Amino acid sequence: MDKQKLPPNLVDSVKHALAEDVGSGDITAQLIAKDTKANAQVISREQAILCGTAWFEETFKQLDSQVQITWYVKDGETINPNQLLCKLTGSAQALLTGERTALNFLQLLSGTATQVRYYVETISGTHARILDTRKTLPGLRHAQKYAVRCGGGTNHRMGLYDAFLIKENHILAAGSITKAIAVAKHHAPDLPIEIEVETLEQIKEALQAGADSLLLDNFTLLQLREAVTLVQGRLKLEASGGVTLKTIRAIAETGIDFISVGAMTKNIRAVDLSMRMQS
């Protein structure tokens, strides 16, 4: 998906986040006169990849459509310490009420995009591409998948409905790799089929049965190279399992097509950003 294509559930995500935070009303912001206007700005405190501007804007839009935001940087761009990211003008109540929700989205998604960029840059110059997984924060999968694209990564399937990923237990239940693939092709012939394999013999069976790609889970570097040699580009190969920034370069250099990393969307540290009101 195009990194600029925003998720269809963005508005609802913000609505739920505001409901969680504001509840029946922001009693502290109500101490400020309703017609009071204010200015604010958001500053970065560290180097990162910016992501989440649309969620930030939508937060204030839902609180008060008259709030104006001017951005000086776009999603996917690098930000540096003490850099001015945007300025806001509008209702003081709206700015105060939306601050935390808006920053939560911006900090979390920027943290995701930044983490992805580390992995992407580490394997730069190789054939491999970085894939995300379903290991996302509940309720924020679409948003984090967008952040992965902003960081330079590639989206895997969105969920359990848009692609087959036939793992060991599926194969056992179906009877064999060949049988599982046959049923998948009959059930949804237009959807891609990926098979988790553990041996070279299973790779041969999956090739014969017509799989689109293979998941090589916890393969050694030697096994990955053997798989690449055996397949010879006839289908895509994905390496997964225990991938870290220290090990990913060696994995990429085996000639694998994709490397999936759950930590990019699961083990996230929010980027340090600050929103300050101005007189």
Active site residue 276: no
Active-site choice (45, 61, 135, 225): 135
Contact status, residue 78 vs residue 104, Cβ threshold 8 Å: no
Nearest-10 crossing angle of helices 141-150, 10-22: 120
Active site residue 20: no
Active site residue 167: yes
Active site residue 269: no
Q: How many Å apart are CA 107 and CA 51, to the nearest integer?
A: 8
Q: Which region, left, alpha or beta, applies to residue 58 given φ > 0 means left and ψ of -120 to 50 means alpha?
A: alpha
Q: How many Å apart are CA 254 and CA 223, to the nearest integer?
A: 9
Active-site choice (217, 226, 253, 272): 217
Active-site choice (87, 100, 134, 185): 100
Active-site choice (87, 129, 167, 185): 167
Active-site choice (196, 205, 238, 257): 196
Q: Give the chain's largest Cα–Cα span.
A: 73
Count helices and strands (H / E) in the chain. Answer: 10, 12
Active site residue 185: no
For tokens 């096994």, the residue is 223
Which residue in 219, 223, 267, 268 sits closest to 242, CA to CA?
219
Q: How many Å apart are CA 16 and CA 270, to the nearest integer?
A: 20
Contact status, residue 49 vs residue 114, Cβ threshold 8 Å: yes
Q: Tell me the catalytic residues.
A: 100, 135, 167, 196, 217
